[in-house]
Amino acid sequence: MADLAVRPMTPDDADRVLAIYQAGLDGGNASFETAAPTWAAFDAGKLADHRLVAVDADEALIGWVAVSPTSTRAVYAGVVEHSVYTDPAAQGRGAGRLLLDAMIASTEAAGIWTIQSGVFPENAASLTLHQRAGFRIIGTRERVGRHHGRWRDVILLERRSPTIT
Ligand SMILES: CC(C)(COP(=O)(O)OP(=O)(O)OC[C@H]1O[C@@H](n2cnc3c(N)ncnc32)[C@H](O)[C@@H]1OP(=O)(O)O)[C@@H](O)C(=O)NCCC(=O)NCCS
């Protein structure tokens, strides 16, 4: 992890970000989605802040994290949902954890109090990563959506900031 760093995502990162997104979707356990969005759709769906990428010692982009609002209601203004993806060739090197920790710090500094995510039960790497980073399991939504024609469960996780009171 010593050779990895985190920096803000820029529009120049679009192709790499979307390629890593697609590789994660192709793995079959990241999301109900099967195709990465266009950059325009990605850009419109994510908050402009808290978009981060992980780079290796050669400045190669190996992962990203971004957050979306969960609701238009004022009461939930500090509740976001995030996505985190690491290049399959660079997984297990700490990039996911680095990205989550940086995103937690960035959102907390902006007054966001809850970060949530839905994870397939089969996604052991993501479940481990999130629990190590301080997320707790809320529960399991059973057969909540179809993925390639198959009903799948989703485990809901959240991290409530201990510092925003
Ligand atoms: C989930 C994902 C982002 C993890 O990224 P990563 O860069 O490999 O994660 P890290 O190297 O930081 O590892 C984080 C923790 O998960 C653990 N982990 C990694 N792969 C694992 C696996 N296959 N099974 C169990 N634990 C695993 C690591 O040991 C580490 O725990 P530790 O700190 O106790 O050692 C990555 O696997 C990925 O991009 N998957 C496809 C997309 C996806 O599923 N995204 C999440 C959608 S909810």
Query: CATH number of the domain that 145 lies in?
Result: 3.40.630.30
Q: What is the pTM of this model?
A: 0.97
pLDDT above 80 (res 2): no
| 59 in a structural domain | yes
Instruction: Give the distance, in angstroms, between the CA of residue 62 and the centroid of all CA atoms in the same chain.
Output: 14
| 165 in a structural domain | no
| 87 in a structural domain | yes
| 20 in a structural domain | yes
Confidence (pLDDT) at 43: 98
Domain of residue 24, residue span: 5-160
97 Cα nearest atom in ligand 1 = 12
Structural domains counted in the chain:
1
pLDDT above 80 (res 136): yes
Q: What is the largest CA-CA distance in the chain?
A: 43
Decide whether any atom of ligand 1 lies within 6 Å of the 91 Cβ.
Answer: yes
| 67 in a structural domain | yes
Decide whether any atom of ligand 1 lies within 6 Å of the 135 Cβ.
Answer: no
| 131 in a structural domain | yes
| 72 in a structural domain | yes
Average pLDDT, the chain: 97
Confidence (pLDDT) at 79: 98
The span from the CA of 47 to the CA of 67, in Å, is 6
Confidence (pLDDT) at 130: 98
Confidence (pLDDT) at 1: 63
* Averaged pLDDT, 14-31: 98
* Averaged pLDDT, 97-117: 98
Identify which of 110, 21, 88, 13 has the alpha carbon closest to the alpha carbon of residue 52.
Answer: 13
Confidence class for position 41, pLDDT limits 50, 70, 90: very high
| 102 in a structural domain | yes
Decide whether any atom of ligand 1 lies within 6 Å of the 116 Cβ.
Answer: no
Confidence (pLDDT) at 51: 98
Confidence (pLDDT) at 102: 98
Write the secondary structure of the chain as one string of H (helix), E (strand) and C (coil). CCCCEEEECCHHHHHHHHHHHHHHHHCCCCCCCCCCCCHHHHHHHCCCCCCEEEECCCCCEEEEEEEEECCCCHHHCCEEEEEEEECHHHCCCCHHHHHHHHHHHHHHHCCCCEEEEEECCCCHHHHHHHHHCCCEEEEEEEEEEEECCEEEEEEEEEEECCCCC
Confidence class for position 53, pLDDT limits 50, 70, 90: very high
